[in-house]
Structure 1
């Protein structure tokens, strides 16, 4: 079996440890979508996922070909899922002997099985996610998953020719790029859900803590393909002087999920870049 990437191994150890209290599950049904049942305890997640937070469990499931491979018979500590992200598990395996197939009921998430029941796909929309398996009317096992908000990305503002003075390279000829970098662990473990970009920002010139001239409003439409557009600073160039600074207020981000759908992400941070 191939060795896991060290960062991915660390994430697995932090994210996963689930099982069935010593009960192995029979094979799953070849179905497209699991029945969704209401749960009065469902609520929007309140906590942001923090991979550095100590966990009380220590087992480290494997990740093979993009699938989480939990040991289903271990102590069933709750698996930690991230809101509106796709989590791919290996499905429970068949026990020795003939057993009826399972019927699954889920709450707090959409759950589907791929062709041949090789993997189980969970996309949480509330906290907690509860997955129950039945043989006829008999409950075989229950899994409970905690759901967390995604950790926010880091915005990096880069001024072109930043090492040159205004006398050498005027601001009218420069650009600034705004890149939203996802959380490192999120990018490694769920790359399809870790695609961010800045969608709304305001760029202004400031001198001695006072605004100078008009601001540049940046709005990136959802349909635009670029991830980090280069924004011309020409509208600010005529007013710029050495010692001024650019004030960049990032007001909104967009995230493209596993299904290539774009969702708006609230964000409110400001950054400064000094001009020489």
Structure 2
């Protein structure tokens, strides 16, 4: 591990990067830094007005290197429309997410956290895969350490819903997806790589949007005293996006939320090939998408 930072990013001139959830937080910083080093950045966002406001602050906006396009990960129709309208992409950054929100369902009937954080990105990746030239980076979380993936009830239909376990399940799913995708890429001899990153505990708008009247003020207070800033959190993603790394590498701060950036460990459950393959099969059924290389 090193004291690498976004200042060490290589040139991305001539390369195209899609960043989901790039209108705020980690995604906005990620997109901004990649635009700074010359990338053509596509801000894939649910709220295009917020996306346009974020894009206006980014280098290259006036020259057309930064564009905003609608993507609602809670709607498979929106995911398909985005993928169909997208040409060649060098890097896909699956960054968008929601955290510990009250129970809700997506347009396709999925529990909103697994639907947004995993299934939407699963479908997007599979649909874009033939157009990607370099890598897929998926943003997970330290909360994967507390996650359990229940393939028999992924969408919390037959068990009591709890917001934090649902979030942890979705973040564990991100890592299992990354591992399963890398195995498939290697199986067909693809040069593409699948990687994951986690920001540690970074202060973003997620902590203010839990929908929990009691929990949200606690999180916002904790942000002031314990959290790193979004630039530090995005550093982990940018490292995974830009560095020469083996497939299925997981990037984060050395000491969970602090310290230099580099490869980090994951929970034993995140290394389960059996669970990863079961989740992949279920995700194919639920989204109607499949590995297409």
The answer, yes or no, to whether TM exceeds 0.5 is no
> Normalising to structure 2: TM-score of the pair?
0.22
Considering fraction of residues, name the structure with more strand. Answer: 1
* Structure with more relative contact order (C-alpha pairs < 8 Å, separation 6 or more): 2
Considering fraction of residues, name the structure with more helix. Answer: 2
Higher Rg: 1
